[in-house]
Amino acid sequence: MSFHTRSPTLLADLGGTNVRFALADVDQPRPLLADSVRRYRVRDFATLADTIRQYFTDTGLAAPRAIIAAAGRIADGETVQITNNPWAVAAHALQADLGLESVRLVNDFAAQSMAVPLLQPEHLEAVGHPPLPRLDRCDHQTFVVMGPGTGLGVGGLLRRDGHCSVLESEGGHAGFAAHSAEDIEILHRLNQRFGRVSNERLICGNGLVNLYQALADIAGERAQEYTPEDITAHAGAGTDPLCVRTVETLAGIFGSVAGDLVLTLGGWDGVYLTGGLLPVLLPWLQRGGFRQRFEAKGRFSDTMAQVPTVAVLHPEPGLLGAAALAVMEAGRPLLPRP
């Protein structure tokens, strides 16, 4: 594999289960070099540094600097304890270990949010009736970016006078707010298991299992020892009504939480839905329950009905967003100049 960029940037998208790598060429209109993407299982390596060395060995590539998008809170821009895996990463220690010029740590949903300006129309699918958002509609725009995978990520994109910045958050760990009688029954059961119940306890891979078990208990049925993959497979095939109900319920709760985030962040310009679980959930989101509960915000229901929700279909939005950050770090414009 050979790339002609003189100063590539190593990109990493580090989640609870997998870490993905690629290179960026900030001089290209599409800076993420798609042919350089590789994925590794976190559990197969002791440290992130070991995984990076393996990536360089496997591809024959190298880079003098790195941008690491990590699923966790970045403390002082320097360290992160990954939320759903055992790794801890310190930027300066990683830089010294690998002999790099620089290492930058960012929250994974800061990267997901920065991907939005680089997304092409073929990477987007509207969920519900409002049309796709436009980033040039006005000078001041605020978008919510969120999605389920191993956990639930939440971020925001601010566009102000042609410049983009991100809101980094751990909104997936905000407390779950029950909106229906069934929600209350689900919350009661999960509260008995976990104490405090966050949105992430319901909207992620393991959230499918938590919901399935709670709904089985509510229905007085015996829960099977299903994995998240079992639940979505049975739901898709229509072979287990309780699995169907589980995925429908998750889609509705997902809509409620997305709508709450619009109200909280003022994300009136749209919500970008992403995350590793999204491709499996998307057909269920399109069936109506997601938008119904997204819009069901009392006195703001008419306003919410006009807020676009859009699924991100790009296969590597975390790496794409890290590439966008590399472009900005190099002093290049991310958005076309007016």
Residue percentage of the chain with pLDDT more than 70: 97
As a whole number, mean pLDDT of residues 78-102 equals: 86
Residue 21 confidence (pLDDT) above 50: yes
As a whole number, mean pLDDT of residues 43-56 equals: 95
Going from the C-alpha of 120 to that of each of 96, 137, 138, 139, 264, the distances in angstroms are 37, 16, 19, 20, 28
Strand partners, 142: 158
Cα–Cα distance measured from residue 314 to residue 311, given in angstroms and rounded to the nearest whole number: 9
Q: What mean pLDDT, rounded, does the chain reach? A: 92
Beta-strand pair 9-14/65-70: parallel
Residue 60 confidence (pLDDT) above 90: yes
* C-alpha closest to that of 278 among 334, 325, 318: 318
| Per-residue pLDDT reduced to its tens digit, 117-166 | 999 999 999 999 999 998 877 789 999 999 998 889 999 999 988 788 99
As a whole number, mean pLDDT of residues 25-48 equals: 93
Residue 6 confidence (pLDDT) above 70: no
203 class by beta-carbon count within 10 Å (0-12 exposed, 13-18 middle, 19+ buried):
buried
- Which pLDDT belongs to residue 272? 98
